[in-house]
Structure 1
């Protein structure tokens, strides 16, 4: 993957924001907090191609809003089996929303900006909530001690490749930056503006004891 493409930033488009809100309002009331996050101005930009999952779009945040809703004790999940009607192809397209630590972090859409979305035809009757991140956590679990296992939220652990090296995301920082570890359990701060992978003289437990910043 081209790392500069990984961190490409663009403004969120009106149709993206509208579709997010329309989909969420078709879900049970417990998910309406995600609309409040959007109305509060959570999303600063979208990050396209930030995953090996085709069609996935992740968000860069206004960090003051992010901190308001962030809860590290909440597991990450995705809302799937949602269908959105496209007038261009006369078909329902798959749509999913991703949430991590209580914050909406991205979406997955089978269509694109060329789709002619019918915002009145959203079918969320069969939606499912799927916990994510467990498999990547299991890949590193054997090298963690008990304190580290207690400290980490397993659903926040996922694999990311930067400059052809694999890191495991363990903690979000501001605006898309994050803390990651490698397969030797070394801890890094990974930033995108400028692009840097900074080795930290800290342990996994150390970085979680610090204030989120």
Structure 2
């Protein structure tokens, strides 16, 4: 019922595919291999966006500090194709970069376990700048001290029970801190699914968790 909590563990084919695609791209993108090898990617959130086939990555905070570049513009690497062993055809694959880090990918037309991770086509790849992120949608309700405690690349919109929340910070086991458009703060857990209101200042919550 709540698709974003179907899977939180990152699978080997996902990192293998990322690496095999990036290796074939121009050298300016090779630094993203280091992020994967350093263990930046902690897990995934499935169906956490209205982007078709999108899977978001969660991060190990200590490693994220090494690569996070908040002033860098978000973009995606598109027009990439990967081979689907089931349909015996190439399908679209995109890699999303936010604040200098790999933030997610989209895979359309097949299930990941059917992908041939060694058979990729980047001959027509393009870099496409992404417009305002979900972080920019909530900036106006945040205080300056709160903005300093947030990583824009970790802020994204999630629909739960038909209501929109903004993911702010990962906790353990796929749980996270989120807020709604009225700046009500929640601790959102997935096992069981609960949305618990936190009656503290946002800065206290972000510093204390």
Q: What TM-score do the two structures reach when normalised by structure 1? A: 0.72
List gaps (5 residues or longer) in structure 2: none
Match in the other structure for 2:166: 168
| Structure 1, unaligned runs of 5 or more | none
What is the aligned length? Answer: 206
Q: Quote how far apart the aligned CAs of 1:21 are.
A: 0.4
Residue of structure 2 equivalent to 1:119: 118
Contact 1:147 1:205 in 2 (8 A): no
Shift of 1:104: 1.9
State how 1:11-160 maps to structure 2 within 5 Å. Answer: 11-86=9-84, 89-110=87-108, 111-113=110-112, 115=114, 117=116, 119-132=118-131, 134=132, 136=134, 139-140=137-138, 144=141, 147=144, 157-160=155-158
8 Å contact 2:80–2:120 — kept in the other structure? no
CA, structure 1 residues 130+13, in 2 after alignment: closer, same or farther (shift >3 Å)? same
Give the aligned CA root-mean-square deviation in angstroms: 3.5
Checking the alignment, whether the CA contact within 8 Å between 1:80 and 1:130 is kept in structure 2 is: no
Counterparts of 1:167 and 1:150 in 2: how far apart (Å)? 17
Contact 1:158 1:168 in 2 (8 A): yes
State how far apart, in whole Å, the 1-side matches of 2:16 and 2:151 are.
Answer: 31
Distance 1:46 1:146 in 2: 29
Q: Which residue of 2 is the match for residue 199 of structure 1? A: 197
Deviation at 1:204, TM superposition (A): 4.7
Q: What's the secondary structure of 1:30's corresponding residue?
A: helix
Post-superposition shift, 1:166? 1.6
Q: Offset of 1:129 from its aligned partner?
A: 3.1
* Residues 27 and 191 of structure 1, relative CA distance in 2, 3 Å threshold: farther
Instruction: Give the TM-score normalised by the residue count of structure 2.
Output: 0.73
Alpha-carbon deviation of 1:108?
Answer: 0.7
